[in-house]
Chain A
Amino acid sequence: MILPHRAIRTSFIASVLGVLAACTNGEAEVLSFQALTSREAPSHKAHVTALARSGQPQLQVSIPKSNRGGLMVRVTQRNGLTTWLSADGASLQTRNGLLQATRGLGAGLMAVDDAQSARLIHARETGQALRFHSFLSGNNTIQTRSYHCEITDRGVRELTIGDETVTTRLMAETCANGEQRFLNLYWLDDATHQLVQSRQWSGPYLGNLTTRLRRAT
């Protein structure tokens, strides 16, 4: 259903390691061969399917860099923070559509402080903003980066989502620091002011994510 991992390489290593192909009733030394090779952990799949059936909103997500994509389902909302879950247990968190965190996608975007950008984008105003991202490194340390951003208004865009045509305003955010630069795009529904489609940078490992909201049916 969603965002499969690099299963081919993983299973190749597993078969060479050999030691991993195991069965056990406990979890000590936890990786079973099945867990390594199967793309979707059954428990999450059942959970996500049940949520989707119950009519929770869904988010179409894709990662152009790795050519992967799929649907994520909303699991919770707390204090304006929305958590989306994939069938293999990866999650995204958004606040009013703006990306706040990723988990289980290989890279760890641990948290984002985009209060300045968010205010401008949702007000459809142009201007300057400062944003902060903290990433989990491969060495288990947190690396925080700050970016100077320029928010611009690219005008009205018509989107076709499902059968409906939605009139949106496209806001663009160009951010950079000494080592990284990225462009985020936000399509905001003119009627509901909701962010219905976006392209947002998640960090150097995964690059951009594109999201499109699927409304609850």
Chain B
Amino acid sequence: MRASACLLFGCLSMLGGPLVATRGPAQTLTTYGSPGLIDMPTAEVFPDGTLALTTANFENTSRNTLAFQFLPSVYGTFRYSFLRDFDSGVGLSRYDRSFDIHFQLREETARGPAIALGLRDFGGTGIYASEYLVATKHLAPSVSVTGGIGWGRLAGRGGQRNPISVFDGRFDTRPDSNAGGIATTGQLDFGNWFRGDAAFFGGVKWDVNSRLTLTAEYSSDDYAPEAQRGLIDVRSPINLGATYRFDNGVSLGGSYLNGSTLALQLSYAFDPRKPKAPGGQGAAAPALLPKEQVALASWNLPGEGTSPDSKVTAELRRNLKGQGLRLIGFSQNKHRTDVTVENLRYGAGAQAVGRTARVLANTLHPEIETFVITLAEDGVPITTITSQRDDLYALETDVDGAWRSLARSQITDAALSISGQDQAAAFPAFTYRFAPYTQLSFFDPNEPLRYELGAQLEADFQPAPGLTFSGQLRQPVIGNLDNDTRPSNSVLPRVRSDWGRYAADSDLRLSHLTADYQWRPHEDVFARVTGGYLEQMFGGLSAEVLWFPVGSSLALGAELNYAKQRDFDGKLGFQDYDVMTGHASVYYKTRGDYHVQVDMGRYLAGDWGTTLTVDREFNNGFKVGAFATMTDVSSAEFGEGSFDKGIRIEVPVSWFTGKPSRKKVTQVIRPVLRDGGARLNVRNRLYETVRDNRGRELAAGWGRYAR
């Protein structure tokens, strides 16, 4: 698991202060971290796009939930629960991962209630497996009532004959969701949904004021699995709760559960569209100078000795560097200049373009009227933006300036080679970076959070545009990633499940050492070849080609790799296992905030299959997504989890800090990391870097052009 990030829950929950909390109807969350009463759901949803983190704790139980409202009427949750001594027969506590999904079928109106259908723990080990149909209606602005019918765990108390069995007698019985044992966890239990007895539940919610809410419910969950094991004492079907909300999105809740125990919970809900500082705190762009002043600048005057051209280039390089832009191509004729830059600083490509244009206007002779700015990555030209110098002056104080400057710019595919590359003399280039790193692994039953902290040294050498030699060394300092005592029980080639050994058997390790060449073979086409030690577990050769027209929402890619498994010690040796692996990929950005990626091909263990990834992408770069991979490996061969799946969250560092940066913090959360459906981790796949500079992303970020 290549997890380099902060501890997700820790980081996000620290941000309480400056964030504007998600407003909207007063929200109370259940112990399951979803909108509702105490244990029982209501038909409510979060405001669209909300992320909510909840930890709820009571007798022998801890539920930790990440909930995301990924469509206006649909939210999903991922939960990691701890049930002390639940499997005491074998002397173990239970760590349980579960997913929920909730569909609001009808919004509340003046005349009728909101109605929702939900599935709790629809794919896990089944402790919380239940389904519900629920309605919620406000009787007064501050009072709402909820009534619903539940199946599965939500029919534990007062279960009656399932009304659906009118249509099909099959629904009278609910098969044991755990019948197949651990091997079948992770399979969708749709054979069980809405089957067996059904029971009623309901409750009342009263918003005493804008901060305090009181709840009371009749619960149809009798906690039978816990009660049978003597973990929870159940004396009453009535639960009572109180929630107090702070302005920063944090809420604190307490409840009296089952007539016997107190539960405490803490939640933090926020809107990813509202980062700490809306406009960011990075320095302003250089103020536009009057043209006369630019014309009289020393580098624009005929000089003595050195040619004015080289003086201009030096000045331009210096001024761009001050804005976090690297000049790699520069040419000018009478009225037009061609400038190619690499954006090292700004999350939005449009901001890099805007800054470049300002630097050009403040540096180049006023006779130059047309700015042709090309954005490049690793020396490969990607997209060209052509604009007029005079528009920059004219729109500087225009309230509609962002839209007008976009409308007056032409965004086109870049020329296949860099204009004036010799003049810029940007190559060869050498960069290094020394920094701490973190690596995390979740959900090991012995150690739910594994981590490693250490130091890493990274260096890149670029002798020519597109050609990069890159290496990274890591030295772990502290952590418990390396004391994993559970050897892999995988029956597949152990392409990922030996991750513990990679940590345990290595000390100073070579994370990667690669030679990489990227180029533009054709208009709209990008290509890459990478060879060497590609990642911690594999080395080999990787080749990729990407078709991505400049203004397109659709891109197509293909990648072919030969990969050979590296030694556990992180040094230069290889093991015997090798494989040809590769994928054909389709990338599609929908009209709204959604992004879909489909990868079809052969995975590291030699299995064939498809990965579907769906992300909600906010315009500021905050992404929340989920992925699942189905391959020809059977769920029995795959082992625990049945198939590879997970959720991922990507947050631009500038979202936390307010300072400009292209850096992102990415965290993948997989219930379990196994060998089926595993992909090679090639560091510099083309799509992401190209996309940041392609037409749709540029246009979407154009609000930052004048930032």
Contacts and interface: CB of A to CB of B under 8 A. Distances in A.
Interface in A118-145: 132-142, 144
B697 to A, nearest CB: 10
Interface stretch (B215-223, B297-305, B426-434): B426-434
A18 B662 contact: no
Interface stretch (A53-61, A97-105, A162-170, A178-186): A97-105
Interface stretch (A5-13, A149-157, A187-195, A208-216): A5-13
Given A9-B18, A100-B397, A111-B398, A140 B345 contact: no
Contacts of B179: none
A161 interface: no
Contact of B399 (A20, A132, A140): A132
A89 B438 contact: no
A120 to B, nearest CB: 19
A148 interface: no
Given A17-B11, A76-B290, A106 B658 contact: yes
Interface in B484-524: none
B277 A20 contact: no
Contacts of A103: 279, 283-285, 707
Contacts of B661: 29-31
A14 B435 CA distance: 12
Contacts of A142: 402-403, 703
Interface in A67-82: 75-79, 81
Contacts of A139: 273-274, 618-620
B287 interface: yes
A107 B10 contact: no
B240 to A, nearest CB: 37
B571 interface: no
A103 B281 CA distance: 8
B641 interface: no
A111 B399 CA distance: 5
A12 B345 contact: no
Given A24-B431, A81-B396, A142-B403, A44 B283 contact: yes
Interface string B612-640: 00000011100000000000000000000
B695 interface: no
Interface residues of A, number: 69
B657 A19 contact: no
B398 A19 contact: no
B658 A22 contact: no
Contacts of B657: 10, 13-14, 31, 36
Interface in B277-316: 277-285, 287-290
B435 A108 contact: no
Contact of B283 (A20, A88, A141): A88
B18 A28 contact: no
B649 interface: no
Contacts of A41: 283
Given A90-B284, A136-B279, A30 B397 contact: no
A25 interface: yes
A38 to B, nearest CB: 11
Given A28-B431, A108-B707, A140-B619, A81 B282 contact: no
Contact of A23 (B430, B434, B438, B460): B434
A107 B283 contact: no
Contact of B280 (A91, A101, A108): A108
A134 B283 contact: no
Interface string B341-354: 00011001000000
Interface residues of B, number: 72
Given A106-B277, A137-B703, A19 B4 contact: yes
B595 interface: no
A140 B701 contact: yes
Nearest to B429: A26
A93 interface: yes
Contacts of B344: 26-28, 30
Contacts of A21: 435-436
B241 interface: no
Contacts of B431: 24-26, 28
A85 B284 contact: yes
B400 A134 contact: yes
B532 interface: no
A44 B281 CA distance: 14
A138 B6 contact: no
Given A26-B344, A30-B345, A106-B280, A112 B399 contact: yes
A197 interface: no
Contacts of A112: 397, 399
B17 interface: yes
A35 interface: yes
Residue among B324, B659, B700 with most chain A CB within 10 A: B659
Contacts of B348: 140
B704 interface: yes
B359 interface: no
B436 A27 contact: no
A141 B435 contact: no
Given A13-B11, A13-B656, A36-B659, A136 B281 contact: no
B33 interface: no
Contact of A83 (B14, B287, B659, B700): B287
Residue among A18, A104, A144 with most chain B CB within 10 A: A104
B38 interface: no
Nearest to B350: A140
A131 to B, nearest CB: 9
B660 interface: yes
A24 B658 contact: no
Nearest to A16: B6
6 contacts: A6-B658, A16-B11, A19-B438, A24-B433, A79-B393, A103-B284
Interface of A: 5-6, 9-10, 12-14, 16-31, 35-36, 41, 43-44, 75-79, 81, 83, 85, 88-91, 93, 95, 100-113, 132-142, 144, 205
For the complex of A and B, 6 pairs with smallest distance between CB atoms: A89-B283, A108-B279, A26-B431, A22-B435, A103-B284, A91-B284
